[in-house]
Amino acid sequence: MTRRKTTDLNHRLRKLKAALLAVSLTLAGILLMMLNGWIEHLKLGDWEWLHSIPLGELGGTLFGAGLLSTLFEYSFRKEQEEATVEQFRQTLHDEAPALRDAVIEAFRFQRQDLERIATPQLLDDLAETSLGLRFGDKAFGREVYSDIRHQAIAAEERWYDARVDATLGIPRVRGKASNPFFDLHVRWEYTVVPRHRFRKFAVVSDRQRYDQLVAERGETSVWYRRPVPGLEVNDPEVFALEQFTINGRSIDFSRQADDVSQVYTVDLGQDTIEQGQSVVVAFSFRTLVPRDGHVVHINIDRPTKGLDVELTYDSSSIKRLRLMDFASRGDGGRISEEPETSVVRYRYDGWLFPRAGLVFAWTLATEAGQQHQPTHNGTRSSKAA
């Protein structure tokens, strides 16, 4: 806006200068002609030579130049401006391919140039257009980018070098061979720049509330437990957060429970958020897993770069444990099953995104030799189970 005002002011100044020049020439011509008429009949004596100066012709010339310049200024200025604009448009038309290529090259290689003019909406439009051209389907490209934006761009935190250590199959209540549950102990550790002061862990048995918490994401990791008679979701024996640390320093947390849920809340501290530095976060929890559920999920809660998982199981209760990778892309992660040591390992060095994860499926020792198809009626989570 300021630049346009400056341009208009310069244009008005040029017009004023042209008008002043025309008036000055006209006035000078009139004065010279008047002077010539006055001295023409005078006896000048020694100054008689002044009669030889063509003051009349010079005055007429200046007078005519002033009139003509005024005529040209007000008669042909509009046509001149239109011609200039048309010439500029033609130049833009002729140079449009070169300008387009230059802009594309700048967007492609000159990151700093793009950052100066880019807005979130512009970047979204460029990404959608690029994917649509790449796939040859505009609608498909828009849907793919919408999913990417939901999973990656909307996530305020990104985890790096995540490690999960889990232990399955050590019942807390011994002496009862018919104990229908396994204990699952899980410990997560990862590097992150925290964006939320409060970190929450929720276990719910109400589907509507679960879907709401999953859609909100943000600071909460949520698990869904199907209601089972005699097994209340708000019982700490069903789920309990055991520890939360930042850079090895233990952080206190609180617990709230109602009829359909229990929520653990950790206060990271405002200073941790304001510093904006990477920290190592670790938390551990335990939960009950039905033996006859045959599966447990470790799901990805945030975009994660690099994941290392090690699950140890009780070989006296579990005959075999298999891992199914629903998280990685391309060649997949590296899976190592070691029945002799009752350990299953997994590693993936690339990016993993929410709504993906790993599934561990087991065959009980009492089912050895039987054909058994695992059923997914165990714990289901939006993060790690």
Average pLDDT over residues 8-16: 71
User: Of 102 and 129, which is predicted with more confidence?
Assistant: 129
Portion of the chain with pLDDT greater than 70, in percent = 74
Helix or strand (DSSP H, E) at 346? strand 343-352
pLDDT category at 375 given cuts 50, 70, 90 is: very low
CA distance 21 to 24: 5
User: Of 85 and 167, which is predicted with more confidence?
Assistant: 167
Amino acid at 117: I
> Which pLDDT score, from 0 to 100, does residue 383 have?
45
Strands 198-204 and 220-224: parallel
User: Of 33 and 364, which is predicted with more confidence?
Assistant: 364
> Which pLDDT score, from 0 to 100, does residue 147 have?
79
pLDDT category at 132 given cuts 50, 70, 90 is: confident
User: Does residue 377 carry a pLDDT above 50?
Assistant: no
CA distance 150 to 319: 40
> Which pLDDT score, from 0 to 100, does residue 348 have?
93
DSSP-derived 3-state class of residue 102: helix
Closest CA to 307 of 284, 285, 288, 326: 326
According to DSSP H, which parts of 167-262 are helical? 207-216
Average pLDDT over residues 256-285: 93
Between 5-9, 197-201, 223-227, the lowest mean confidence (pLDDT) is in 5-9
User: Does residue 384 carry a pLDDT above 90?
Assistant: no
Average pLDDT over residues 24-28: 75
pLDDT digits (tens, 9 = 90+) for 322-344: 999 887 776 778 898 888 889 99
Torsion, CA 93, CA 126, CA 350, CA 150, rounded to 10: 180
Between 34-38, 109-113, 144-148, 333-337, the lowest mean confidence (pLDDT) is in 109-113
> Which pLDDT score, from 0 to 100, does residue 279 have?
96
Q: What is the pTM of this model?
A: 0.66
| CATH class of the region 159-368 | mainly beta
Q: Which residues, 6+ apart, have CB-to-CB distance to 204 below 8 Å?
A: 210, 213, 222, 223, 224, 225, 233, 260, 261
- Do residues 266 and 253 lie in contact, with contact meaning Cβ atoms separated by under 8 Å? yes
- Do residues 346 and 335 lie in contact, with contact meaning Cβ atoms separated by under 8 Å? yes
Highest mean pLDDT among 98-102, 154-158, 221-225, 278-282: 278-282
pLDDT category at 287 given cuts 50, 70, 90 is: very high
- Do residues 291 and 362 lie in contact, with contact meaning Cβ atoms separated by under 8 Å? no
> Which pLDDT score, from 0 to 100, does residue 345 have?
94
Whole-number average pLDDT of the chain = 80
Joined together, the tokens standing for residue 271 give 């200073």
**DSSP letter string over 159-181?**
EEEEEEEEEE---SS-S-TT--E
pLDDT digits (tens, 9 = 90+) for 48-57: 666 566 666 7
User: Does residue 381 carry a pLDDT above 60?
Assistant: no
Q: Helix crossing, 2-39 with 55-109: angle to 10°?
A: 170
pLDDT category at 6 given cuts 50, 70, 90 is: low
pLDDT digits (tens, 9 = 90+) for 340-361: 889 999 999 988 888 788 999 9
Average pLDDT over residues 280-298: 92
> Which pLDDT score, from 0 to 100, does residue 374 have?
47
Closest CA to 286 of 159, 161, 182, 163: 182
What strands lie across the sheet with 357-364, from one edge to the other? 295-299, 357-364, 318-326
Q: Which residues, 6+ apart, have CB-to-CB distance to 311 below 8 Å?
A: 164, 166, 167, 168, 321, 323, 343, 344, 345, 360
Say if residue 358 is exposed, middle or buried (CB neighbours under 10 Å; 0-12, 13-18, 19+): buried
> Which pLDDT score, from 0 to 100, does residue 370 have?
57
Q: Which residues, 6+ apart, have CB-to-CB distance to 82 below 8 Å?
A: none
> Which pLDDT score, from 0 to 100, does residue 175 have?
52
How many CB atoms lie under 10 A from the CB of residue 228?
14
CA distance 91 to 69: 29
According to DSSP H, which parts of the chain are helical? 2-39, 55-109, 111-117, 120-135, 138-148, 207-216, 270-275
- Do residues 360 and 296 lie in contact, with contact meaning Cβ atoms separated by under 8 Å? yes
User: Does residue 217 carry a pLDDT above 80?
Assistant: no
Average pLDDT over residues 86-93: 81
User: Does residue 376 carry a pLDDT above 60?
Assistant: no
User: Of 71 and 146, which is predicted with more confidence?
Assistant: 146
- Do residues 336 and 344 lie in contact, with contact meaning Cβ atoms separated by under 8 Å? yes
